[in-house]
C-alpha cells in the first residue's frame, strides 16, 4: 500500500493539464465557474477618472489647508455634481463644488471635504476642519492600469471575478473547456433509484453522488449507468468510457474478490497501472491507470458510498482541478479543535467525517453522529470537513488539535 501523500503525488504528476488548444470562448453571462485560459488585459484604467469616495465638497487643498472651527474658510458653491455627471465648470480659488460619492472631480479640485465637516448656507459652504491633501479622492488608475493583466490564466471565475470582468468591459473571454468525466457503477446487486428494490439488492447512489461531485468541480459528468459483474460487458463499458472522457470514475470491482475484474481489464485494454491500493481508511482499494492513446486518467474507486466520496474528495478533486487548468488545485487543510473523541484503527491514515465550524476565529470539528462505516452514507450529509488521524495514532481526545481537510 502506498502512503496517502505518495499516491497524491503520483496522481498529480500523471495529470495532463489542458492547454490553450483546449479552450473556448464564452460570454460574461456564462463565465461563472469556468477557468480562465488566457490572461485578461483591460483597456480602461480603474477608476476610469478621479472621483469622490464620499459625499461632500470638491475643493482646492490650498484654499482649506489651514482652516479649523476657530478659523473656518468660506467658499462659493458654483456647481453640483452627482454620480454619472460630467463636470461642466472648472473650480477656481475660493470656489467649491457640491459632490456625491462616485462623482467625477471637476478640473481645479484635488481634495474632498466630507459634508460632516461643513456648514451650508445658500450658495456658500463653510469648511470647519482642514482635510488631508487629496483626501477621499479615488485617482484614475489607482486600482488598475490599462494594458496590464487584470486576471491571470488559471483563475476559477466566481462572483468577484465576474465583477472585475464586467468593470473591464470584457464581455467575451477564453476559458478552458470543461473536462469530461465518465462515471460507471459495477455490480450485479445494483439497481437505479427508480427500480423496485428486491431482497439483496442495493440502490446505486454512487452514480448520482459522483455526477454531482463532478459538476460541482467544473466537469461534465457522463453517466454510463450500471455494469454487471461480467468481464465482457465490463470490458466493453470501460473501453467506451476511456474513449469518451478525460477522466473515468468506476465504482466497485477493484478489491480482491472473485468478481473484481477492473484491474485485469485495464491491463488488457493497454492501460498502465500506477496505483493499486493506498494506506487510507476509508478507501484502501484505489486503482489509478493511464492510457497513452488519449491521456485518459482512470480511477477505480471502492463501491461503498462513503469510500467512493472520500476517495473523490482526497484524490480525484485535486486531479480534476489541475486538469481544468486551475492554479489552486491542492487540497486545503486547517488545524481545528475536536469537539469529540476521535478513534482510528492506526494502521492506515484515517478520515473521519463531520462539520467544521469557525468559532471566535478558531476552527472546531464536530464528528458526525452514528456509525463511521464506509457503507453508512446517512451521516455523511452536511459534511464539510474530514478529520485526519495519522498512521499509528489510534485516539485523539476531545479538546485536542486535529488536522482537517476542507471538502467544499
Do the Cβ atoms of 396 and 369 come closer than 8 Å?
no
Number of domains within the chain? 4
Which residues on neighbouring strands pair with residue 36, listed in sequence order?
175
Beta-strand pair 73-81/95-99: parallel
- HSE-CB for 99 with a 13 A CA cutoff: 30
- State whether 193 and 312 are in the same domain: yes
Domain finish residue from 323, 345, 361: 323
**DSSP code at position 110:** -
Cβ atoms of 297 and 247 within 8 Å: the answer is yes
φ/ψ (deg, to 5) at 280: -140, 145
**Domain presence at residue 300:** yes
Establish if 328 belongs to a structural domain. Answer: no
Residue 80: Cβ within 10 Å count:
12
Q: Do 37 and 160 reside in the same domain of the chain? A: yes
Per DSSP, which regions of 200-325 are E strands?
A: 202-203, 220-227, 247-251, 272-277, 280-281, 285-291, 296-301
* Residues 25 and 172 occupy one common structural domain: yes
For residues 309 and 347, membership in a common domain is answered with: no
CATH number at residue 57: 2.170.190.11
Q: Is residue 203 part of a domain?
A: yes
Distances (CA, A) of 20 to 67, 185, 343: 59, 33, 47
- Determine the pLDDT at residue 258: 58
**What is the rounded distance in angstroms from the CA atom of residue 101 to the CA atom of residue 86?**
14
Please list, in sequence order, all residues whose beta carbon lies within 8 angstroms of the beta carbon of residue 150, skipping any fewer than 6 positions away: 40, 41, 42, 144, 164, 168
In 188-304, beta strands by DSSP E: 190-191, 202-203, 220-227, 247-251, 272-277, 280-281, 285-291, 296-301
First-to-last alpha carbon distance for the chain, in angstroms, is: 28
Using DSSP's 3-state secondary structure scheme, residue 212 falls into helix
| Domain-embedded: residue 34 | yes
26 & 163 share domain: yes
pLDDT at residue 294, as a whole number: 86
3-state secondary structure of 121: strand
Q: Which domain holds residue 127?
A: 51-138
d(CA 45, CA 143): 8
Domain termination residue (choose one: 176, 194, 228): 176
279 shares its domain with 219? yes
Q: Please report the pLDDT score of residue 389 as a whole number.
A: 97
- Among 139, 163, 145, smallest CA distance to 52 is for 139
Q: Which residue has the cell 490572461?
A: 39
pLDDT at site 219? 96
Tell me, yes or no, whether 81 lies in a domain. Answer: yes
Residue 377 shares a structural domain with residue 252:
no
Same domain flag for 208 and 154: no
pLDDT given at position 375: 81
CA distance linking residue 234 with residue 240, whole number of Å: 10
Residue 79 lies in a domain: yes
Give exposure, 238-250, as e/b (b: 16+ Cβ within 10 Å). Answer: bebbbeebbbbbb
Domain boundary among 323, 352, 383: 323
35 DSSP 8-state letter: B
On whether both 274 and 385 belong to a single domain, the answer is no
257, burial (CB in 10 Å: exposed 0-12, middle 13-18, buried 19+): exposed
163 and 272, same structural domain? no
| Cβ neighbours around 186 below 10 Å, total | 27
Q: CATH number for the domain including 153?
A: 3.90.105.10
Query: What are the residues whose beta carbons fall under 8 Å from the beta carbon of 236, sequence distance 6 or more?
Result: none
Going residue by residue through the chain, which has 408 residues, state the pLDDT in tens, using 9 for 90 and above: 899 999 999 999 999 999 888 999 999 999 999 999 999 999 999 999 999 999 999 999 999 999 999 999 999 999 999 999 999 999 999 999 999 999 999 999 999 999 999 999 999 999 999 999 999 999 999 999 999 999 999 999 999 999 999 999 999 999 999 999 999 999 999 999 999 999 999 999 999 999 999 999 999 999 999 999 899 999 999 999 999 999 999 998 776 665 578 899 999 999 999 999 999 999 999 999 999 888 899 999 999 999 999 999 999 999 999 999 999 999 999 999 999 999 998 899 999 999 999 999 999 999 999 888 888 889 999 999 999 999 999 999 999 999 999 997
The x, y and z cell numbers of residue 278, run together, are 493506498
pTM of the complete model:
0.87
How many other C-beta atoms are found inside a 10 Å radius of the C-beta of residue 396? Answer: 23
Alpha carbon 297 to its chain centroid, in Å, reads 22
Same domain assignment for residues 104 and 115: yes
Please report, for residues 58, 125, 178, the alpha-carbon distance to residue 90 in angstroms, rounded to integers and kept in the order given: 11, 17, 53
Q: What is the CATH number of the domain that holds 200?
A: 3.40.980.10
Q: What is the CATH classification number for the domain harbouring 373?
A: 2.40.340.10
Are 184 and 250 in contact by the 8 Å Cβ rule? The answer is: yes
Query: Do 188 and 311 share a domain, yes or no?
Result: yes
Amino acid at each position: 500500500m502506498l502512503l496517502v501523500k505518495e499516491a497524491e503525488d503520483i496522481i498529480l504528476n500523471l495529470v495532463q493539464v489542458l492547454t490553450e488548444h483546449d479552450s473556448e470562448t464564452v460570454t460574461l453571462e456564462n463565465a461563472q465557474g469556468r477557468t480562465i485560459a488566457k490572461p485578461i488585459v483591460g483597456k480602461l484604467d480603474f477608476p476610469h477618472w478621479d472621483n469622490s469616495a464620499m459625499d461632500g465638497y470638491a475643493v482646492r487643498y490650498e484654499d482649506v489647508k489651514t482652516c479649523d472651527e476657530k478659523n473656518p474658510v468660506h467658499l462659493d458653491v458654483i456647481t453640483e455634481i452627482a454620480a454619472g455627471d460630467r463636470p461642466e465648470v472648472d473650480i477656481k480659488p475660493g470656489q467649491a463644488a457640491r459632490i456625491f460619492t462616485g462623482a467625477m472631480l471637476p478640473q481645479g479640485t484635488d481634495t474632498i471635504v466630507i459634508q460632516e465637516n461643513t456648514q451650508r448656507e445658500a450658495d456658500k459652504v463653510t469648511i470647519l476642519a482642514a482635510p488631508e491633501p487629496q483626501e477621499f479622492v479615488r485617482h484614475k488608475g489607482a486600482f488598475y492600469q490599462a494594458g496590464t493583466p487584470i486576471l491571470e490564466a488559471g483563475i476559477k471565475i466566481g462572483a468577484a471575478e465576474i465583477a472585475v470582468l464586467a468593470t473591464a468591459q470584457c464581455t467575451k473571454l477564453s476559458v478552458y473547456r470543461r473536462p469530461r468525466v465518465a462515471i460507471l457503477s459495477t455490480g450485479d446487486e445494483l439497481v437505479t433509484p427508480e427500480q423496485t428494490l428486491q431482497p439483496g439488492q442495493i440502490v446505486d447512489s454512487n452514480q448520482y453522488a459522483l455526477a454531482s461531485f463532478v459538476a460541482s468541480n467544473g466537469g461534465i459528468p457522463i453517466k454510463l449507468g450500471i455494469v454487471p459483474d461480467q468481464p465482457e460487458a465490463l470490458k466493453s463499458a470501460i473501453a467506451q468510457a476511456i474513449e469518451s472522457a478525460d477522466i473515468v470514475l468506476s465504482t466497485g470491482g477493484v478489491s480482491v474478490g472473485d468478481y473484481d475484474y477492473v484491474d485485469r481489464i485495464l491491463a488488457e485494454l493497454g492501460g498502465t497501472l500506477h496505483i493499486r491500493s493506498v494506506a487510507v481508511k476509508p478507501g484502501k482499494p484505489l486503482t489509478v491507470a493511464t492510457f497513452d492513446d488519449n491521456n485518459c486518467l482512470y480511477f477505480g474507486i471502492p463501491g461503498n458510498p462513503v469510500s467512493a466520496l472520500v476517495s473523490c474528495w482526497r484524490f480525484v478533486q485535486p486531479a480534476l482541478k489541475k486538469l481544468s487548468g486551475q492554479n489552486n488545485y491542492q487540497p486545503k487543510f486547517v488545524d481545528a479543535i475536536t469537539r469529540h473523541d476521535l478513534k482510528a484503527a492506526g494502521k492506515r491514515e484515517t478520515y473521519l467525517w463531520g462539520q467544521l465550524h469557525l468559532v471566535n476565529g478558531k476552527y472546531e470539528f464536530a464528528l458526525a453522529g452514528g456509525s463511521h462505516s464506509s457503507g453508512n452514507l446517512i451521516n455523511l450529509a452536511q459534511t464539510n470537513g474530514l478529520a485526519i488521524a495519522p498512521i499509528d495514532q489510534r485516539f485523539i481526545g476531545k479538546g485536542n488539535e486535529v488536522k482537517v481537510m476542507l471538502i467544499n
